[in-house]
Amino acid sequence: MISGEIERHSTSNVRFGSLRRGLETLACMPARGKEEMASPHYSGCTAGGVDSDQVRRCYLLVEANDSTRTLILNRPKQLNALSSTMIKELLRCFIAYQKDDGVKLLIMKGKGRAFCAGGDAAVGSQAVLDVGWKWGADFFGNQYFLNYIIATSIKPQVSLLTGIVMGGGAGISLHGRFRVVTDKTVFAMPETALGLFPDVGASYFLSRLPGFYGEYVALAGARLDGAEMLACGLATHFVRSNRLPLLEESLKKVDTSNTFVICGIIDQFAEHPSLKENSSLKRLEIINKCFSKRTIEEIISALEQVASNVADQWVTATIQSLKKASPTSLKITLRSIREGRTQTVGDCLRREYRMVCHVVRGDFSRDFFEGCRAILIEKDQNPKWMPPSLHQVHEEAVEQYFSKIDDPQWEELNLPPRHSHGRNIESKL
């Protein structure tokens, strides 16, 4: 969740509690948005009882090509950051298409130079301050519910990940069956620098990367290119950006949900790029040695020991990233990734929902609001974290983030039983 565009609106009339109680009710909810669709060739979700007129004012375009539906994130000026409206519209589409036998393949892409820069963190933090913590709980609850629907979808999804892919953008793509990256892809989960933690199921997909690479990516907010995403398993295919339109046109002709057939089509355009010389994946030995430590303090100490013996700018930059991040965020992130390694995607999302509710309530720390202020709103790049140091973030405080919320307005994230189709995170190393 990294975008800084503020779209001011109060809590939707359709609340998360009612949303999660009935998928059929959700599929028929009216859409809310701000812009007319860009082209008459695009419509809203028309399957499963969702009329195109209902989604005519939105930031999501849907292109129908026989049995393929292309979902296009349409906020290019905001790098396609996910608003509350967009999340609900995506939910309507995914649920409707699950029930429509005429839809066999979903393609997800972003308009402009980004796939999706994450959730709208600035609007989220401001809305919580204006309306109350329940707004944040509803926003994140809808988002995690969407991530779960994608992760358990019976219809294959091909995400075309060119440009920026961060935070919430990873949540709506990496849980899908096929993740296609390019020579222009830039991926990161930068939440610890914002006073948050890698969410949207990141504790599931990052914890399954080789060795302790997931801890490194999550804690340091490391940026990966397309070749690195393919090599570590976050992506399933690498296609040159100039060939992406040809791939997309081929996929639009698909009349099957058979993943072997779809994979074969993508394979025709795919290649296996080499890692750059300065790639973090060429430092896996150091990463495994340092990021396998039990605590954040021990991780930093191990990196400093390496820095004292080896002149490596990557090590120095990694240490600096960790020291600039929110101490509270670092500690809850480490535990989240470690717990996620043995949990299902549903278990990860339920736990992350507990964690994020504590974050937006500010029960122990208000670092999320301070991070959004300093990085996204006022942009002084100088957040004042509280507590300001790692040793002041006690184990009791960390434990609190993983506990139930003691408030009658709060309830657990209730995810309906659905078969998980086991999205593979397969390292190519």
**Among candidate residues 199, 167, 216, 169, the one with its CA nearest the CA of residue 321:** 216
Catalytic residue of the set 33, 48, 163, 168: 168
Catalytic residue of the set 191, 215, 228, 367: 191
**Among candidate residues 234, 177, 111, 92, the one with its CA nearest the CA of residue 421:** 177
C-alpha–C-alpha distance, residues 326 and 271, integer Å: 38
Instruction: Report the 10 Å Cβ neighbour count for 29.
Output: 18
Catalytic residue of the set 119, 171, 176, 340: 119
Is the C-alpha dihedral spanning 221, 277, 170, 120 positive or negative?
Answer: positive
Backbone angles phi, psi at 299, to 5 degrees: -65, -50
Whether 168 sits among the annotated catalytic residues: the reply is: yes
What strand order describes the sheet that includes 237-238? 60-65, 68-73, 105-110, 157-161, 178-181, 237-238
C-alpha–C-alpha distance, residues 171 and 159, integer Å: 11
Give residue 55's Cα distance to chain centre: 23
Whether 119 sits among the annotated catalytic residues: the reply is: yes
Backbone angles phi, psi at 188, to 5 degrees: -165, 155
Catalytic residue of the set 199, 228, 248, 352: 199
Whether 136 sits among the annotated catalytic residues: the reply is: no
- Whether residue 126 contacts residue 8, with contact meaning beta carbons closer than 8 Å, is answered with yes
Whether 371 sits among the annotated catalytic residues: the reply is: no
C-alpha–C-alpha distance, residues 82 and 33, integer Å: 12
Q: Which residues pair with 36 in a beta bridge?
A: 57
**Among all residues, which ones are annotated catalytic?**
119, 168, 191, 199
